[in-house]
A and B are shown apart, each in its own frame.
Chain A
Amino acid sequence: MSYGDNQPFENLKLPLTWGVMIIVAGVCVVGALMFLGDKRGGLDAASYGNRGGFDGVAAKSNNLLSTPAHVVGDGANWLDDYFFAADENRILKKKVAELEKYRDSYIQAKELNRRYEVLLNLRTEPAVDTVTARSVSVSRGPFNNNRLIDAGASKKIRFGNPVINEHGLVGRIVGVSPDVSRVLMVTDVVSRIPVMVARSDARAMMVGDGGGFPRLEFVRGGKDVLKKGDQILTSGDGGIFPRGLPVGEARRGVDGVWRVDLYTNRAPIDIVKVLKFEDFSQLPRADEVLRTPLVTDVLPPPPPVKITGIGSSASASSAAAPGVTPVNNGASSSASSSSQQAPVNRPKPRPVTNAAASSSASNPAPPPPPAETSASAASGG
């Protein structure tokens, strides 16, 4: 027996190509399993939870790279401002003169709007804290559109916070690590944002597709709810984004699909603001929000009514008037006589407070005094 005869597989050699193909197949199986287990459709905090460490390192590296570029860019801007100051000053003067009239009308409209809100007891959006950050890394391919910004959980940024810049909505936070956050852009293929048309108040869903112009889908309303140039705002539906953030303008694409020309396309995204807006949970309690205040709580009191020269017959006729329905019939006759001598006893308007709100929400409104009923009937109210 010669050497090697007792080793039947010694001379069996697997071709290198086949061996490599087996490795490729194995890697593909592993990759496919990981891909199927990491679907991004239902974005939640756990989707990007295991990437925080990597994002932290990547952002620092990109920050090192982008810092010199920003320094050079700022220097170039300074030189540009220096050499073209006179020309720019002339343009700015023209713009200031043009915008002054808009400023006055804006102040008037704002004050009027504030009064209406107080009068109607409208619930306005609560003030939202913001965190300013700088974009340090960007992925702008067709399959992924997101950014890394240099602010994270140490500044109390949380999953889902909206991100804006000076032009409009940029995206929302989908991954947070101590010093870095990942922002899912509104153009990403998994981005879905409820929006509304400012002109017609029609609702739609803005769907990212990896390009610079997200699609408008599920546009609700008639034919003319959407026109070219209409401003698109966030609607606040769903509670992810606050209502009214500027997004862009409606455009019809070459494929006939309505798209949004994003305001953020107007300039490079550099400095962004993270709104610490989370969802409806930070708004006031539901029983306060849904409370309908009494009209007498918010309207100013009507002037007192003076009834002169009318005797008991007049009070009897007023009680029998078909258009007047007293709240308490049993007390109306006796109270009507007293209303002639004494001035009307009205409840003083009181400011709306939380205590009043809760009490009025839990208890039905007490019936007004008879004097008020007859007086208001006499005054036609």
Chain B
Amino acid sequence: MLQSRNNTSRTRRGNQSALRRARLAKAVFDKRPPRRTSGGRTIGPQDWLLIPAVLCVVATFILATDIPLPFGWDLPEPVWPMVLAFSWPLIRPSYIAPLLLAGLGFFLDYFWGAPLGFYVLCLMAVYGATLLIRSYIVGQDLWVVTVAYGLAVLLFFTLGTILTVIDTGMVPRLISVFEQMLATGVLVFFVHALLERFLHADVRFT
């Protein structure tokens, strides 16, 4: 009798653990259909992470093309991933976003011939700082976002200047730094567009 009771409890425990494993497997491996609500659009990571990252890479490629322009002009060279480093933490904290941003940083290091880790550090500094103050920025007017983006750009280029001094012992020409800051600052319109599309709009994340 006692033996049969023990067998029963062991069987029950085994059933519970099997049920738990099944639940875990379903949660991890099963492809859940995106939740859809009546009020909003459903977006996945590819919408707000992958596609903007690819667009940044393409834009960087295009603007790096050596096209002779009249009057000695050059194509501008803004730091496109800066838009994402500022927008992503405002839209939503994500585990994938910093890793993707690090990938973009390595891309810039390779593509622009910078020492490895240079743009990774600069972009991560902006991402981390924005994440810390996201609760103060989200929901504010556009001009607040614009000022915050300006400060983020300032942080990026200040850190870049410091890292360049550490790397080479040489202070880069500040006028050139300011020129690239200006070109990157103009991208604030893309920040507004991203926030408008993914933060202020009535959307649901999967």
A residues sitting closer than 8 Å to B (CB atoms) are 3, 16-17, 19-21, 23-25, 27-28, 30-41, 48, 51, 54-55, 58, 61-62, 65-66, 69-70, 73, 135-144, 146-147, 174-175, 182, 184, 189-190, 207-212, 265-270
Contacts and interface: CB of A to CB of B under 8 A. Distances in A.
A300 to B, nearest CB: 54
Contacts of A58: 61, 110-111
A35 B115 contact: yes
B173 A142 contact: yes
Interface in B58-112: 61-62, 64-69, 72, 74, 77, 89, 93-95, 97-99, 101-102, 105, 110-112
A149 to B, nearest CB: 9
B72 A35 contact: no
Contact of A135 (B66, B117, B132, B160): B66
23 contacts: A17-B93, A19-B95, A23-B98, A24-B124, A27-B101, A35-B117, A36-B117, A38-B115, A38-B117, A48-B113, A51-B110, A69-B65, A69-B67, A139-B64, A139-B112, A141-B112, A142-B176, A142-B180, A144-B114, A209-B172, A209-B173, A265-B72, A268-B68
B132 to A, nearest CB: 8
A21 B128 contact: yes
Contact of B170 (A39, A65, A190): A190
Interface in B124-141: 124-125, 127-128, 131-132
Which 8 pairs show the lowest CB-CB distances between chains A and B? A35-B117, A211-B173, A31-B120, A268-B68, A34-B117, A142-B176, A210-B172, A31-B117
B168 interface: yes
A324 B178 CA distance: 75
A200 to B, nearest CB: 26
Contacts of A146: 112-113
B60 to A, nearest CB: 10
A268 B163 contact: no
A212 B74 CA distance: 12
B70 to A, nearest CB: 9
Interface in B156-177: 160-161, 163-164, 167-173, 175-177
Contacts of A174: 113
Contacts of B99: 23, 27
Q: From DSSP, what is the main secondary structure of chain B's interface residues?
A: helix
Contact of A27 (B62, B120, B164): B120
Given A31-B121, A35-B115, A136-B65, 4 more contacts: A27-B124, A35-B116, A208-B170, A210-B173
Q: Which of B61, B65, B179 has its CB near the most chain A CB atoms (within 10 A)? A: B65
A62 B80 CA distance: 17
B7 interface: no
Given A31-B102, A35-B118, A209-B170, A20 B111 contact: no
B67 A143 contact: no
A139 B111 contact: yes
Interface of B: 16, 61-62, 64-69, 72, 74, 77, 89, 93-95, 97-99, 101-102, 105, 110-118, 120-121, 124-125, 127-128, 131-132, 160-161, 163-164, 167-173, 175-177, 179-180
Contact of A66 (B66, B69, B114, B164): B66
Contacts of B167: 35, 39-41, 190
Nearest to A48: B113
A54 B114 CA distance: 13
A34 B116 contact: yes
A137 B128 CA distance: 31
A58 B107 CA distance: 10
Contacts of B77: 139-141
A17 B167 CA distance: 32
Contacts of B180: 141-142
A20 B101 CA distance: 12
B118 to A, nearest CB: 6
Nearest to A183: B113
Given A65-B62, A65-B65, A267 B72 contact: yes
A31 B177 contact: no
Nearest to A139: B112
A144 B66 contact: no
Contacts of B72: 265-268
Given A16-B93, A31-B121, A142-B173, A189 B105 contact: no
B124 A35 contact: no
